[in-house]
Chains A and B, each alone.
Chain A
Amino acid sequence: MMKWNLYSRGDKFFAIVVSILIGMFTVATLYPFIYIAAVSFSSGFAAQAGKVVITPIDATMEAYGFILKDPQFWISYRNTFIYTIGGTIMSMLFIIPGAYALSRPQLKGRRFFNLFIAFTMWFNAGLIPFFLNMRDLNLLDSMFGIILAFAVNAFNIILLRNFFEAIPQSFEEAARMDGANDFQVLWKVFVPLSKPAIATITLFCIVSRWNGFFWAMVLLQSEEKIPLQVFLRHTIATLSDDDEFAIVQTAAGFSAETVTAAIIVCSIVPVLIVYPFIQKYFEKGILLGGVKE
């Protein structure tokens, strides 16, 4: 590209080797997804025999037909949307005002509150006390419990607080002249100026909610409350050693492998759709969050 002809032969060789290595890593990253997509569109017989390599064999939509007919798939898909949207909104309700307050120099006990929050990044009570606490709070098997109990984390608050602290005072002073109170300053000055940081945190929240699995598995018992990830796990775990299913499936043209692959595809597609939009934020975000008090 740039001044290619000016490069020495050694540098050209180096550049080509580098491009090939990057290409190999990229293909290696992408291949498992292509493979899974190919399996999901293959016949159960071909998938079971290990014939699928890169394109579907005996292409069929049977596996998708099987899942899309399962009401539990739609219920858990809907639940994932509820957890993602509800959880992200809940996070913002805590994080934005909290970070604003912590960024105010006049806040008394500011050092203490910052330490109070940061301490939870370094020390965690662990699975058991957290679980018993959820039980004591009567939040087992509760959708609201999931949304509330994972709404806040220290990292996101500190990230946004750092961003708020960097906003020049002059912006705020102008609003104060017009008689704005703290809520108005936050909403009309800080939030609009912090769009990149808020977008980054929103992105982190959405991704962790969409992917959330462990606590949903532990805390939720009712099938009508489980998110997609838990449903996917159940399906993978039960299909692979369900003999009855093995008999039915062969006749129907799908198999445990193709059904698993089809659910994987269904749950990745929304991520792929939003991914290009969020990419520009996370590169910035990860560095923002980086490494400062």
Chain B
Amino acid sequence: MADNQTSTPDKPITYSDGRATRLFDHFKREWQIYLMLLPTIVWFLVFLYKPMYGLQIAFKDYSIFRGVAGSPWVGWEHFQTLFTNDQFLRAVSNTIKISALNLLFGFPAPIILALLFNEVLNATYKRTAQTIVYLPHFISSVIIAGIVITAFSPTAGIVNTFISWLGFDPVYFLTQPQWFRPIFVGTGIWQEAGFGSIVFLAAIAGVNPSLYESAVVDGANRWQMMWKITIPSILPTILIMLIIRIGNVMEVSFELVILLYQPSTYETADVVNTWVYRQGLQSGQYDLAAAAGLFNAVVAFVLVMTANTISRRYSRTSLW
């Protein structure tokens, strides 16, 4: 836009309408900011919006040779296949179940941690502990999975070493379906609870100190202050974070699932995105997998939008 306009600056302007002249002057004066924006816009078009155009293969009999545009339409056929496919339905159900467990156990963990940090009196102790518990957030999922695989190994792992000390037989944690979700959710808490507490600590830091001062005058102890002042004060933050979490129900960190699951645990571990990965990228059923991905994305979109509307109504500030 900017370039077109500025490349012919000497041409006499003959618009009868003053609006066009003003627009011309605007681009002539401000072309630099449009030039700065251009690469970003092109990047979004090429890497994020063009795949959205490619999503039409969810409604097509996609063939690599014909390409996205040339493949014939098949309507809702892939979606009919999906909703009669036990593996896909299982993946949807697993996604929701894992998210629900994450919500139940993973959501309170950083809140509790933040409340505890707030009660630690020794600043150095608090600082050191914080530095350590934030660390796992920065570790890659491959390493996290490597640690989990090593620690839960039936013969070599520390967990089974402890179990054998207690006199029990070793447990094959990573090959038994009933262990996948506890391990996955527990790993998530270990990795993210510390980092997640930062938001709540910031909320606690924003609580008006005079509330505590008057509570001290009234003879309240720390425990009472935590329940009567701190928790009610950070309740809006808790609710907003909860809404965000619910909005992200479809977003199970599938990278970690791929690294930890195996065919014998698919039953409890396989989520929508891992199913998409296997069907699409490993087996080459691109159209069916794209349909599953589209289903996931639409559900996620509706949930996030709903979450945003609710939080906007609740807190009068939207999440973005």
Interface residues, chain A, CB within 8 Å of chain B? 1-2, 4, 8, 10-11, 14-15, 18-19, 21-23, 25-26, 28-30, 32-33, 35-36, 39, 47-53, 93-95, 97-98, 100-102, 104, 106-108, 113, 116-118, 120-133, 136-137, 148-149, 151-152, 157-158, 181-183, 186, 207, 210-214, 218, 229-230, 232-233, 236, 240, 255, 257, 260-261, 263-264, 267-268, 271, 275-276, 279, 282-283, 286-287, 290-293
Contact = CB atoms under 8 A, between A and B. Distances in A.
Interface string B280-320: 11000010011001101100110011000000000001111
B125 A19 contact: yes
Contacts of A148: 43, 47
8 contacts: A100-B33, A108-B26, A127-B276, A128-B293, A181-B32, A183-B32, A218-B281, A279-B134
Contacts of B150: 35-36, 39, 257, 260-261, 264
A107 B37 contact: yes
Contacts of B207: none
B44 A117 contact: yes
5 nearest A-B residue pairs (beta carbon):
A126-B293, A98-B40, A211-B140, A97-B36, A125-B51
B123 interface: yes
B296 to A, nearest CB: 7
B139 A133 contact: no
A51 B150 CA distance: 13
Given A35-B158, A120-B48, A207-B138, A126 B199 contact: no
Interface string B117-151: 10111110110110111111011111101110111
A29 B194 contact: yes
A116 to B, nearest CB: 7
A135 to B, nearest CB: 9
Given A10-B221, A128-B57, 15 more contacts: A1-B123, A2-B121, A33-B147, A94-B43, A106-B26, A122-B301, A124-B300, A125-B52, A126-B51, A128-B276, A152-B40, A261-B146, A275-B135, A286-B198, A291-B240
Interface of B: 26, 30, 32-34, 36-37, 39-41, 43-44, 46-52, 54-55, 57, 67-68, 113, 116-117, 119-123, 125-126, 128-129, 131-136, 138-143, 145-147, 149-151, 153, 155-158, 160-161, 164, 190, 193-195, 198-199, 202, 221-223, 240, 255, 258-259, 273, 276-277, 280-281, 286, 289-290, 293-294, 296-297, 300-301, 304-305, 317-320
Given A97-B39, A293-B320, A25 B156 contact: no
Contact of B139 (A26, A186, A211): A211
Residue of A124, A158, A240 with most chain B CB atoms under a 10 A cut-off: A124
Contact of A279 (B131, B146, B164): B131
Contacts of A33: 147
Contacts of B52: 123, 125, 129
B57 A129 contact: yes
B144 to A, nearest CB: 9
Contacts of A52: 158
Contacts of A186: 36
Contacts of A293: 318, 320
Residue of A50, A157, A260, A282 with most chain B CB atoms under a 10 A cut-off: A50
Contacts of B281: 127-128, 131, 218
Contact of A211 (B57, B141, B297): B141
Given A127-B276, A133-B50, A214-B255, A118 B320 contact: yes
A4 B293 contact: no
A126 B295 CA distance: 10
